[in-house]
Structure 1
Amino acid sequence: MRIRTTTLALLAAGSLLAAAGCAKEDDAPPAEPAKPRAVSPVAGCGKGSWTDPADLAPDRKPARCAPNTPAPRPLPEKRDLTIATGTLSAEYAAPLQMAVEKGEFKKEGLDVDLKVLPTPDALPLLAKGDIDAQWAAPEAAVMNGITSGFDIKWTAGNFSPDPRSKSGLWVRLKKGESTDHVPMAGRKLGTMIGKGSVIAYPMGKALKKHGGGLDEIQFQQLGSADVLTALENGGTDSAWLLDPVWRKVDGDKRFAFLGGQPQAEPLGGLLFGPNLLKKDPDAGVALLRAYIRTVNTYFAGDYKADEGFATELANLISTDKQVLLSTPSLRMDWEIRAGTTDRLQDAYRAAGVSKGDKVPESKAVNRTLYEEAVGHKTAGGHRTAKGRK
């Protein structure tokens, strides 16, 4: 998930709303609902290739197929696809780069171009079909865009943190404070993260646990190089520290870790626009098949334990190998949990960057394409493990 400032999120929402008005004037009458796509069993993707979306257990094991599966099913004609991403140097974006590097997209008949674009710039392009997919998250701007009428859906997850990770909210303790309960109301929070980012959700949870809320703290906008310095020298009271920055204060009794991203719940991944949702869903499934195969083959477990792969990965994302190894492997996860977009929208409302009715999950999430890629059929909607809707 790429961090965003509140201003950028709101500007993006405004541009989406304006563009939506123009789009609706030119749109043709709505087409008939698409017929359900045929789903067949996929070799190598058995029972463990799908988990119940309603399973929110923090120790849930992510879905997995066998390495090198699901096998490629090349499209009859080559497709050129563009995927926008906010960065190519972050570990969470590595599966996309590895899929390009290892030729996994090409095996499907896809020529994929990874284009670095900030979320506010990419969203209108995705909605108009000028790009095909976006590696991002259902931030406030995305949900506002869907409300305005854009056909954008979250179609695959990305990762959740390892239980050992302490990427998240850190606070400078005052004299006499216990790490069990740190009153946060009224404190300053130094961050690059805007209230419209998906991080508002875990941040809000951590703040409430310690006597505060998104509407009770003072956001202090800082550059990426200044967040840690301000926390250490007292320029700010708390900060959201990312991998591997949190390692600098871990073990220092002056600071306490209050919480991070929920385990086993991805908060970002692939967003599809109308090109892959409606015009060419075969290409959408092929893209997801290649992505899922890359995760199963290269990122299935503790991928940093493989010395050779760690070296390759560090070179691929242009980072120092020792820095890469200083934090645990991410838990790559292509699935989307039930209710995540509802919880995100609750956080946006609490932060004051979203108003009006909630976007229902059915308008924001599409699991059917990744389910098709692994050969999972869901009859009559997504069911719990006991078969209940």
Structure 2
Amino acid sequence: MFGKSRARTMCAAVMAAGLAFTSACAPSTQQTQATDAKQVSVLPAGVSLSGTPDTPAAKPLAQHASLKVGIPSKLELEAPALLAQTYGEFAKENLDVTFVTDTVPNLLTLLGQNKIDLVYAGAQALVFNALRHGVPIRWVSGVASSSPDSGVYMSTKYGTSASDFNPALLKGKNIGVNPGGLAAPSEYGLYDLITKGDLSPSDVRMTPFSDIAAMAQALNNGSLDGATLGAPFTASLKPGVAFQAQAGYPASMQIAGYFATTELLGAHRDAGVAFFRALERTVNTYLSGDYHQNTEVMTKMAQQLGTTVETLRVAASVPFDFNVPAQSVDSLQKMYQSVPGTLQVGNPVKPGELIDLSLVIDAAQGK
């Protein structure tokens, strides 16, 4: 890790609306000069972040380096990094990677305190609040396109398919949501459906569940009118009880990925590029197509995630995608603005201020 050379800190205070960063965290002159170095906020036409097996080729660092990577929990979405460790892809880059597990707010605080180098997280409101207060945080990679079976599921009392469901019917309905509701990026599908029905969030009754299995059961027994669900919980829905009314999020946006600060994008970008070369090579070699049918890969993944191959195969293979479309920034902010107290007062963050794809592009191009 490169904490000794860093000059900035991230100040954090836990408030009722979530983690807020104070203006005392403004970057130093050195940080300002490093900000946006080689920044690429939109994937250039003709550039692909995917490739064939064993590509991009390893390009070992001239000097051994180490990175600490924060993850909130071990999920299949983090399989590229976890399996890169298992298959020795980091070692091929002359890079050591250590994983640190904690909550997303704590991990982002550690990122600013120079204690970790990258964080895997959803693009929560606190990311936008941090940037607005001068913390040089960047969204450097996506993770996946929306899973085909994730999204908003409605009781068949209100329709049978997305094509015949009228979103205006959400008014007054009781919808199960993940903790945080529309303050969490995972609820974008519900927000999108609400806006399609010309409704406001206050028109819909949202019941948060920390136990997602219980939320699926509540939809099964009729105590909920709908719920935001994804794999493997969608597999427990009884046939004929519910239908998918809205996907989790459209292909034109992303809701999660890896976050870093301009330190990794600047003086130590070689280590950042090496990290993403290993991740992209892992996806291209082991996690492309319907990799759930590859018993060897799934066995290693199950070991990493502390589960079974059978449990993982209940869901479809994840469509990994490292891109972060610019629309993601505007769309998520609009959702957060609909929840009072979620975004701190200030001008909206522009896509070019937050997204920086230069590490994943350089990695894909073998640089």
- Rate the CA distance shift 1:200–1:133 in 2: closer, same or farther, 3 A: same
- Equivalence for 2:339: 351
Q: Could you tell me whether the CA contact under 8 Å between 1:127 and 1:274 is conserved in 2? A: no
Amino acid at match of 2:18: L
Q: Could you tell me whether the CA contact under 8 Å between 1:126 and 1:132 is conserved in 2? A: yes
- Equivalence for 1:109: 94
User: Bigger CA drift: 363-372 or 232-241?
Assistant: 232-241
SS state at 1:190 partner: strand
- Equivalence for 1:206: 193
Match of 1:278 among 266, 270, 273: 266
SS state at 1:160 partner: coil
- Equivalence for 1:192: 178
SS state at 1:200 partner: helix
Q: Could you tell me whether the CA contact under 8 Å between 2:175 and 2:206 is conserved in 1? A: yes
How many correspondences in the alignment?
345
Asked if 1:65 is matched to 2:66, the reply is no
- Rate the CA distance shift 1:376–1:337 in 2: closer, same or farther, 3 A: farther
Asked if 1:337 is matched to 2:325, the reply is yes
In structure 1, distance between residues paired with 2:259 and 2:126:
13
- Equivalence for 2:204: 217
Once the two structures are superposed, the pairs formed by residues 18-167 of structure 1 within 5 Å of their partners are 18=22, 20-21=23-24, 23-24=25-26, 27-28=28-29, 31-32=32-33, 63-88=49-74, 90-162=75-147, 165-167=148-150
Structure 1 unmatched runs, 5+: 1-6, 38-50, 56-60, 378-389
- Rate the CA distance shift 1:275–1:176 in 2: closer, same or farther, 3 A: closer
Q: Could you tell me whether the CA contact under 8 Å between 1:141 and 1:196 is conserved in 2? A: no
Match of 1:309 among 283, 297, 302: 297
- Equivalence for 1:365: 355
- Rate the CA distance shift 1:250–1:210 in 2: closer, same or farther, 3 A: farther
- Rate the CA distance shift 1:255–1:210 in 2: closer, same or farther, 3 A: farther
When normalised by structure 1's length, the TM-score is: 0.79
Once the two structures are superposed, the pairs formed by residues 366-381 of structure 1 within 5 Å of their partners are 366-375=356-365
In structure 2, distance between residues paired with 1:269 and 1:289:
15
SS state at 1:283 partner: helix
User: Bigger CA drift: 79-88 or 274-283?
Assistant: 274-283
SS state at 1:121 partner: helix
Structure 2 unmatched runs, 5+: 1-13
- Equivalence for 1:180: 165
In structure 1, distance between residues paired with 2:44 and 2:337:
24
Listed one character per residue, the Cα deviations across residues 207-241 of structure 1 (whole Å, up to 9, x for unaligned) are: 33356443321222222142122222333332111
**Residue identity (%):** 27
Q: Could you tell me whether the CA contact under 8 Å between 1:167 and 1:241 is conserved in 2? A: yes
Asked if 1:230 is matched to 2:237, the reply is no
SS state at 2:206 partner: strand
Q: Please tell me the root mean square deviation across aligned C-alpha atoms, in Å.
A: 3.0
In structure 1, distance between residues paired with 2:63 and 2:138:
25
Cα offset for 1:62?
7.1
In structure 1, distance between residues paired with 2:35 and 2:157:
59
In structure 1, distance between residues paired with 2:58 and 2:129:
36
In structure 2, distance between residues paired with 1:176 and 1:107:
52
